[in-house]
Amino acid sequence: MTTAAITEETKAGDANGATAREGRGDLLDQVSASPRPRVSASSSPSPSSPPRAEEIAVRVVGLVKRYADGTEANRGIDLEVGRGEIVSILGANGAGKTTFLRQLTTELRPTAGRVEVFGVDADREPRRAKGMMGVAPQEAGLFESLTVREHFELFARLKGLAKREARAAAAEVMCGLDLVREARRRVGALSGGQRRRILVGLALLGRPPLLVLDEPTTGLDPDSRRAVWQVIRRAVAAGATAILSTHYMEEAERLSDRVAVIAGGRLAAIGTLEELFARLDKTYRVTWRDEFGAERSNLFGTFAEARAFVARESLSEFSIARVSLEDVYFALAGRRLTDAGGAAGGTNVTGAAGAAGETRKEGAR
Amino acid sequence: MRRRVRDAACVFRIHLARLRAEAGPFLLAALVFPVAMFWFASRVSGVRAGDPKSLGFLAGAVVFSISLTAISWLGYLLLENRFTGRLKLFATLPLAPSSYVFGILIFAVAQAAAGTATLLVVARAVGVRARLDAAGASLLGATVTLTMLCLCGVSVVIAARARSFAEGTLYTDALGAGLVILAPVFYPADALPRAVGAAAAWLPTSCAARAAETTLAGGHAVAPQLLALALMSAAALALGFRLMRWRED
Residue B195 has pLDDT above 90, yes or no: no
Among A277, A307, A342, residue at a domain's last position: A277
Residue B98 has pLDDT above 80, yes or no: yes
* Chain A: residue whose CA lies nearest to B91: A107
Nearest CA-CA partner of B62 in B158, B125, B156, B145: B145
Query: How far is the alpha carbon of A226 from chain B, nearest alpha carbon, in Å?
Result: 24
| Side-chain half-sphere exposure of A130, counting CA atoms within 13 A | 27
Identify residues of A whose CB sits under 8 angstroms from chain B CBs.
Answer: 102, 105-109, 126-128, 130-131, 133, 135, 137, 139-146, 150, 154-155, 157-160, 186, 188, 202
Mean pLDDT throughout B90-102? 90
Which residues, given as ranges, of chain A have pLDDT below 70? 1-54, 334-365
- Same domain? For A285 and A249 the reply is no
Domain ranges of chain B: 2-243
pLDDT-wise least confident of A342-346, B8-12, B137-141: A342-346
Residue A107 is nearest to which of B6, B84, B92, comparing CB atoms? B92
pLDDT of residue A280: 80
Mean pLDDT throughout B186-209? 87
- Same domain? For A65 and A87 the reply is yes
- Same domain? For A284 and A260 the reply is no
Among A230, A248, A277, residue at a domain's last position: A277
Mean pLDDT throughout B213-241? 94
Mutate which: A143, A185, A196, vs B, most B CBs within 10 A: A143
pLDDT of residue B154: 93
Mutate which: B5, B12, B14, B99, vs A, most A CBs within 10 A: B14
Give the Cα separation of A104 and B247 in Å (integer): 12
Residue B84 is nearest to which of A141, A145, A158, comparing CB atoms? A141
- Same domain? For A249 and A298 the reply is no
- Same domain? For A337 and A230 the reply is no
In a domain, A8, yes or no: no
How many domains are there within chain A? 2
- Same domain? For A242 and A312 the reply is no
In a domain, A47, yes or no: no
In a domain, A320, yes or no: yes
Q: How does A317-342 read in b/e, with b if 16+ C-beta sit within 10 Å?
A: ebbbbbbbbbbbbbbbbbbbbeebee
ipTM surpassing 0.95 = no
The answer to whether A340 and A94 have CB atoms below 8 angstroms apart is: yes
- Same domain? For A341 and A253 the reply is no
Among A248, A277, A306, residue at a domain's last position: A277
Q: What is the DSSP string of A62-88?
A: EEEEE-TTS-EEEEEEEEEEETT-EEE
Which residues on neighbouring strands pair with residue A87, listed in sequence order?
A243, A258
Burial class, A356, CB count within 10 angstroms (exposed 0-12 / middle 13-18 / buried 19+): middle
- Same domain? For A289 and A360 the reply is yes
In a domain, A112, yes or no: yes
In a domain, A200, yes or no: yes
In a domain, A144, yes or no: yes
In a domain, A45, yes or no: no
- H/E element holding A360? strand A359-364
In a domain, A251, yes or no: yes
The answer to whether A211 and A242 have CB atoms below 8 angstroms apart is: yes
Give residue A334's domain range: 280-364
- Same domain? For A196 and A339 the reply is no
End-to-end CA distance of chain A: 21
